[in-house]
Amino acid sequence: MEPPFDNPYRTAPGSVPPALVGRDAELSAVRYALALTRTGGAAQPVIFTGLRGMGKTALLRRCVTEAEEEGAVVLYTEASRETHLSQALRRSLEHAKRQYASVPRKIKSALEAAIRSLPEATYEFPHDLGGVKLSVPATPTRHESFTEALETLNAETRRNARFLVIAIDEVQEGDIRDLRTLVEFVHLTAGTPEPAFFLGAGLPNTPTHLHAVRTYTERWRYFRIGLLSEKETRAAIAIPARGLGVTFEPAALRRLAAETTGYPFFVQEYASAAWMQHHGDRVTGADVEASAPGVRKILEDSYYDNRFRRLTPRECEYVLAMASLGPGPHSVGEIAAALQGTSEGLSSVRNQLIKKDVVFVPAGGMLEFRMPLTERYVERHRDELERRARTAQRDARHERLP
């Protein structure tokens, strides 16, 4: 492959990097669970949680690939607020039917039966003109029918020396009722010689969402996917380049580790830019210095600025206080104390920040920035944010005047 298409770094969201470093414990747990399930043992479902850009989807996709290599029939989909999970599952089944074209006829028939038990898509017309629903009503009968179809599919995969894996990304967006159907099905198979395996990924509030589905999901196995260590960051950058006969100078690796702080999305972006800058068989510190400012500007513009430009003065004041507490999550009371206020009095500001996708609620009474390294962004732009926040402080003083 010729430059620039020989770039070994993967910046597209969800793409699996050549070197998936720092995730050995998670991969080991899934490999054990897959081997146990394949041999008829029930394994704890595994869920990856973490903030955006931590590599949850990439890790999930690597696990799906390994499951298929182990002989699994995988139903893989992504939950969404815009689409019922049942419709997403239907598309997953249709994809599986096409993908597993060489499986025995009875498995194909079981996939077709599961497809028929789920709703068709709902088509919405633009400009609020309504829509056409082609879906099966969400009735107990429909859910029972889907469960029966899953049981048949599970049995047929086992009869043909395969096993069933259900993998869902963005679990926190999944409809409670549809998730309950899947969770209960996996739970019931755990008590049989033909267990299915559940694998998922989602934001840090995923455990709370699953607890609302069924309380026994608290006994599932959860991995919080976080930042890479400096050593892992260097490996994630150096290993793909080494495979193409290129080395990173120590100064370049140090600079990239410091700039990215081990945030996997940033690691791929900055390493990719340094790669595009280099010539020959070495990436130098000068290559990184030349490429880093442009990457930083692009990432700040697309990743943070769009959110922060929309903040009101009171909201700027809130994020400044929250960032001053360091990496989260933080209790709403702790943030309120930093602002010398009460959590009740600041609830409207907090709710607006949630709506603007700046923060989210990982657990009851807690708050966390939606995007990783937001604290660093706030620190870099503190002067501007403080200037905007002073408007809120002046308004508050005027309100206290007699």
Which residues of the chain are under the pLDDT cut of 50? 1, 123, 131-140, 142, 398-401
**Same-domain status, 61 and 155:** yes
Give yes or no: residues 271 and 132 share one domain.
no
pLDDT at 394: 58
- What is the rounded CA–CA span in Å between residue 238 and residue 248? 6
User: Which of 306, 329, 358 marks a domain boundary?
Assistant: 306
Q: Do 331 and 253 share a domain, yes or no?
A: no
277 in a structural domain = yes
| 386 inside domain | yes
CA distance linking residue 402 with residue 395, whole number of Å: 14
Domain with 92 in it: what CATH number?
A: 3.40.50.300
Say yes or no: 315 and 269 in one domain. Answer: no
CA 63 from centre of chain: 14
Residues 147 and 78 in one domain: yes
Last residue of a domain, one of 168, 195, 224: 224
**Cβ–Cβ under 8 Å, residues 166 and 197:** yes
Tell me whether residue 148 is in a domain: yes
Is 16 contained in some domain? no
pLDDT number for residue 60: 97
Whether residue 254 sits in one domain with residue 283: yes
Coil/strand/helix, residue 45: coil
* b/e sequence 307-325, b meaning 16+ C-beta within 10 Å: bbeebbbbbbbbbbbbbee
Q: Is residue 293 located within the same domain as residue 381?
A: no
Q: What single string gives the DSSP state of each residue in 67-88?
A: HHHTTEEEEEEE--SSS-HHHH
Task: Domain of residue 272: give its range.
Answer: 230-306
pLDDT at 103: 74
User: Domain check: are 139 and 268 in the same one?
Assistant: no
The reply to whether 341 and 192 lie within a common domain is: no
What pLDDT score does 143 carry? Answer: 55
Do 235 and 317 fall within a single domain?
no
* Same domain? 104 vs 195: yes
Longest alpha-carbon distance in the chain: 82
- Measured between alpha carbons, how far is 241 from 247 in angstroms, rounded to an integer? 6
pLDDT of residue 128: 58
Residue 130's pLDDT is 54
CA 402 to centroid of chain Cα atoms: 51
Closest CA to 261 of 109, 51, 41, 112: 51
Q: What is the CA radius of gyration of the chain?
A: 24
Torsion from C-alpha of 381, 385, 386, 392, nearest 10 degrees = -170
Name the domain count of the chain. 3
> Is 15 inside any structural domain?
no
Q: Tell me if 133 is assigned to some domain.
A: yes
pLDDT at 92: 81
At residue 72, the 3 state secondary structure works out as strand
Do 74 and 147 fall into the same domain?
yes
CATH number of the domain that residue 259 is part of:
1.10.8
Last residue in a domain, options 306, 326, 354: 306
Instruction: Judge whether 79 lies within some domain.
Output: yes
Distances (CA, A) of 130 to 124, 126, 331, 349: 6, 8, 41, 33
What does the alpha-carbon distance between residue 344 and residue 350 come to, in Å, rounded to a whole number? 10
Look at residues 77, 163, 75, 140 and name the one whose alpha carbon lies nearest to residue 114. 75
CATH code of the domain in which 387 resides: 1.10.10.10
Type and span of the H or E element at 92 = helix 85-99
Name 249's Cβ contacts closer than 8 Å, sequence gap at least 6: 282, 283, 284, 285
pTM for the structure as a whole: 0.83
Residue 326, domain member (yes or no): yes
**CB count, 10 Å around CB of 288?**
26
